[in-house]
């Protein structure tokens, strides 16, 4: 992977600064097409609603009606998810928990988009304007589930999907049921991560490609975080009577339990790291949410 493709910073502390060139192009694309859009659908990862929220979007979408979707709700902690729903409610924004893969909650989206622009459409109708489709833009960071959501909204496999960021490319107009049209854009991240906790959360959920990270250190950071917020689930998944005194000790214990030992009787940290990350990402570690509204600085 060449330096021209990715501009990132990685060191022993796993500091992350990642901003591929296509992200800037997407931001410019959004600016250029925003005037065509009636309502913005902001798709967040319900496990990291704050970290998966691109701060640039607030500026770009200023003045536009918005519907917030909390995706992957099936593998997030329900009590913490309700806190996020209430957090947005206090701001006058309806947040809808969904599972884009299974389609749970997706049927509510069309109605909520129509409600968000009802006043505008009624005003146009009163002026004698011909009824037209409501134009929607879905925005979100990479790997948050936008392509899966569009496929459910259209009822067909209209966009390419994959469990890795960067699959959706270019601009696509997609017709939806209920007289809606959708402008899809690739996921975008912001130019730099000033908060490394945010960067780590994005990396944990694979919004940042594993290929440009040290996955062993990343998994260690995840283990350290889970030891604080979800120690019981971590111990239960790996059948540990107790956790280690440190993250690396717990990681060693997980490796030994799973038999991830090399021919030289050394711990296979790469295999251990990959397993822990994948099992968190697929929900096998349990329903886990990494942040709550109280964490917002």
pLDDT, tens digit, for every residue of 33-81?
788 889 999 999 999 999 999 887 888 877 889 899 999 999 999 999 9
CATH number, domain containing residue 68: 3.40.50.300
Q: Tell whether 53 is covered by a domain.
A: yes
- Tokens 């809606």 belong to 180
- Same domain membership, residue 262 and residue 144: no
Q: CA torsion angle for 124, 126, 132, 134 (degrees, to 10)?
A: 60
**What residue numbers does the annotated binding site for GTP cover?**
71-74, 143-148, 187
138 strand-pairing partners = 41, 184
Strands 180-184 and 172-176: antiparallel
- Same domain membership, residue 46 and residue 89: yes
> Strands across the sheet with 134-139, in order?
95-97, 66-71, 39-45, 134-139, 180-184, 172-176
- Range of 263's domain? 214-295
Contacts of 57 (CB under 8 A, 6+ apart): 40, 42, 139
Q: Please determine, for residue 98, whether its predicted confidence score (pLDDT) is greater than 80.
A: yes
Q: Tell whether 202 is covered by a domain.
A: no
Q: Tell whether 10 is covered by a domain.
A: no
- Asked if residues 190 and 19 have their Cβ atoms less than 8 Å apart, the reply is yes
Q: Tell whether 27 is covered by a domain.
A: yes
- Comparing 54 with 226, the larger pLDDT belongs to 226
Closest CA to 174 of 191, 190, 154, 160: 154
Closest CA to 77 of 45, 41, 43: 45
Write down which residue in 143, 165, 184 finishes a domain. Answer: 184
Enter the pTM of the model: 0.84
- Same domain membership, residue 33 and residue 84: yes
**Count of the separate structural domains present in the chain:** 2
**What residue numbers does the annotated binding site cover?**
71-74, 143-148, 187
Place 160 in a pLDDT band, splitting at 50, 70 and 90: very low
pLDDT of residue 175: 84
**If you average pLDDT over residues 4-23, what whole number do you get?**
49
- Same domain membership, residue 220 and residue 174: no
pLDDT of residue 154: 84
């Amino acid at each position: 992977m060449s330096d021209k493709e990715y501009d990132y910073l990685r060191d022993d502390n796993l500091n992350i600064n990642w901003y591929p060139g296509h992200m800037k192009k997407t931001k410019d694309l959004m600016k250029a097409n925003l005037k065509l859009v009636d309502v913005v659908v902001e798709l967040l990862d319900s496990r990291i609603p704050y970290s998966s929220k691109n701060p640039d979007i607030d500026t770009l979408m200023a003045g536009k009606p918005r519907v917030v979707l909390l995706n992957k709700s099936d593998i997030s902690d329900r009590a913490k998810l309700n806190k996020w729903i209430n957090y947005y409610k206090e701001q006058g924004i309806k947040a809808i928990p969904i599972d884009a893969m299974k389609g749970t909650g997706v049927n509510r989206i069309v109605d909520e988009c129509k409600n968000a622009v009802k006043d505008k459409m009624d005003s146009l109708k009163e002026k004698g304007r011909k009824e037209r489709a409501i134009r929607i833009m879905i925005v979100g960071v990479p790997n948050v589930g936008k392509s899966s959501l569009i496929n459910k909204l259209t009822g067909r496999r209209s966009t390419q999907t994959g469990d890795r960021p960067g699959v959706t490319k270019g601009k696509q107009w997609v017709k939806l049921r209920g007289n809606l049209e959708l402008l899809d854009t690739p996921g975008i991240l912001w130019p730099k991560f000033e908060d490394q906790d945010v960067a780590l959360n994005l990396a944990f959920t694979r919004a940042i490609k594993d290929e440009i990270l040290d996955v062993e250190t990343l998994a260690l950071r995840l283990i350290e975080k889970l030891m604080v917020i979800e120690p019981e689930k971590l111990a239960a998944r790996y059948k540990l009577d107790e956790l280690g005194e440190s993250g690396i000790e717990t990681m060693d214990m997980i490796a030994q339990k799973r038999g991830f030992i090399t021919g030289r009787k050394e711990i296979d940290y790469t295999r251990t790291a990959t397993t822990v990350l994948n099992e968190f990402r697929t929900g096998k570690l349990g329903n886990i949410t990494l942040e709550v509204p109280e964490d917002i600085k």
